[in-house]
Amino acid sequence: MTAIVKPLRTPAETGILEAFAASAALNDPARSVREAAIARIADIGLPGRRNEPWHYTDLRTLLKTVPPVAELESATALPGAFVIDGASQIVFSGARMSQSGALPAGVTLASLPYDAQVSPAIPAGEALVALNAAFALASAALVIAPGTHAGALHIAFRDAHEAAASLARRVRIEVQAGASVTIIESHESRNGLGHLTNTLIEFELGDGAKVHHVRVNSCGDEANSLSTLAARVGDNANFATLSMTTGARVSRHQIFIRYAGEHAHVALRGVSLLRGKQHADTTLVIDHATPNCESREAFKTIVDGDATGVFQGRIVVAPHAQKTDARMSSKALLLSEGATMNNKPELEIFADDVQCAHGATCGELDDNLLFYIMARGLPKREAEALLLEAFVGDVIDEVEDETLREVLMDKARDWLAERT
């Protein structure tokens, strides 16, 4: 007699299947792709602690309920929405994508075809990507023509909905040979709503292409924010991303990088500022599949209150990927007794002529430094803010664009000011 033991479905797993069944909008030309994806979720369930890449972020327990699918755009506007001066905007609201202002020459925008094809940088059957395939109602395909210097494009996920909703969106950005672009990706929603958002952003960088990507997660304080960023990077291409997380109750930002050419440079950076009961996970896999490439990863996390930070970084160097140069660091400061940080750097190196390094630290603010600064006249909270600003500032300083640097520093300062 054989018995297949399956864990009982959690309320969130049941909720996902119910939300899928209840949404008429999902009954569209992509139905077969969606059904295949939801069947997979029904089969494997939500990722949880028994699943190695999800050990510290157990979605089976962290997700409590699944709200209905948002089939419309929000009827109201979000007050004080995040805007970058001079950037063309592509705005996602609920199930709708719209564009404001003219796109730069050489940039085209369309909806994605209904296909199941995802970036080769993403591992097969990845759970968040499957969820995205089942639920995504709005998508965009951006193409930057060869040699185009497109300037700054702002992709804003602005959900002003006044009831909790499930929101899945997907954007594919193809930056063709020799082209360059700055992409700002922002996520905002109202406080107090248990949204479930799932975003899939896929970059494809042609030879010599250059991408600067800045992501800002300012979702509402009860939101569950799931995000996948994938990039395939060609010869001599340059991909830099920085993600700043201050919002959402539960967030997971996963990054998958694959090199498809030589002499490419990738820089992944992140700043997470957490408080209350927030749980924020950054998980990245960098696949050095080709020789002579560089990668730099620098992540800073400040954890206050009863919040939890997670960093998992895995660098894989293929047997023939000689002369790979990879350096990863994750540093966290814990500001309270209840704060938790899980740091897990991993190196998997199969080549012998490489330089790889990783470092992870977790600590508190230095009392000696605090006393020194206070003895010069700064009250404790201001002294702390000075040190914390410096802590995250050295990662933000690496952003090439000065305007964006200032925007990010201001966001960090706002967060710090709310402490004092």
Partner 1 sequence: MKRFESVFKKIEHRKTMVLAMLNITNLHASVDDKEILKGLTLSVKPGEVAAIMGPNGAGKSTLSYVAAGRAGYDVTAGDVTLNGESLIDLAANERAAKGLFLAFQYPLEIPGVTTMTFLKAAMNSQRKQRGEAELSTPDFMKRVRAAADKLGIPQDMLRRPLNVGFSGGEKKRMEVLQMALLEPRFAILDETDSGLDIDALRIVADGVNALRSPDRSFLVITHYQRLLDYIKPDSVHVLAGGRIVKSGGPELAHELEKNGYRDYVADAA
Say how far apart CA 411 and CA 395 lie, in whole Å.
14
Nearer to partner 1, 350 or 371 (CB): 371
Smallest distance from partner 1 to CB 192, Å: 35
Smallest distance from partner 1 to CB 306, Å: 24
Size of the site for partner 1 (CB under 8 A): 22
The residue whose two tokens read 């800073």 is 300
Q: Is 1 exposed, middle or buried (0-12, 13-18, 19+ CB in 10 A)?
A: exposed
Smallest distance from partner 1 to CB 400, Å: 19
315: amino acid identity, one letter: I
Told to check if 350 binds partner 1 by CB under 8 A, we report: no
Cβ atoms < 10 Å from Cβ of 117: 10
Smallest distance from partner 1 to CB 271, Å: 13
The footprint of partner 1 on residues 218-247 (CB under 8 A) is: none
Smallest distance from partner 1 to CB 410, Å: 16
The footprint of partner 1 on residues 253-312 (CB under 8 A) is: none
Q: Closest by alpha carbon to 290, among 268, 315, 323?
A: 323
The helix/strand/coil state of 394 is helix
Nearer to partner 1, 366 or 418 (CB): 366
Say how far apart CA 330 and CA 192 lie, in whole Å.
30
100: amino acid identity, one letter: S
Q: Give the per-residue contact string, 353-392, with partner 1 (x = CB under 8 A; - = no).
A: --------------xxx-xxxxxxxxxx-xx--xx-xxx-
Q: Closest by alpha carbon to 135, among 19, 15, 9?
A: 19
Nearer to partner 1, 85 or 367 (CB): 367
Nearer to partner 1, 72 or 369 (CB): 369
Smallest distance from partner 1 to CB 372, Å: 4
3-state helix, strand, coil in the chain (%, to 5): 20, 40, 40
Smallest distance from partner 1 to CB 380, Å: 7
- 3-state secondary structure string, 286-303? EEECCCCCEEEEEEEEEE
Token readout for 125 is 């059957």
Q: Give the per-residue contact string, 391-420, with partner 1 (x = CB under 8 A; - = no).
A: x-xx--------------------------
Smallest distance from partner 1 to CB 94, Å: 41
Say how far apart CA 241 and CA 399 lie, in whole Å.
9
Nearer to partner 1, 266 or 383 (CB): 383
Nearer to partner 1, 101 or 379 (CB): 379
- What pairs with residue 314 in β-bridges? 285, 346
- As a dihedral over the C-alpha atoms of residue 127, residue 312, residue 197, residue 131, rounded to 10 degrees, the angle is 0
Nearer to partner 1, 120 or 393 (CB): 393
Q: Closest by alpha carbon to 304, among 250, 364, 349?
A: 364
Q: Give the per-residue contact string, 311-340, with partner 1 (x = CB under 8 A; - = no).
A: ------------------------------
Nearer to partner 1, 66 or 335 (CB): 335
Residues in contact with partner 1 by CB under 8 A are 367-369, 371-380, 382-383, 386-387, 389-391, 393-394
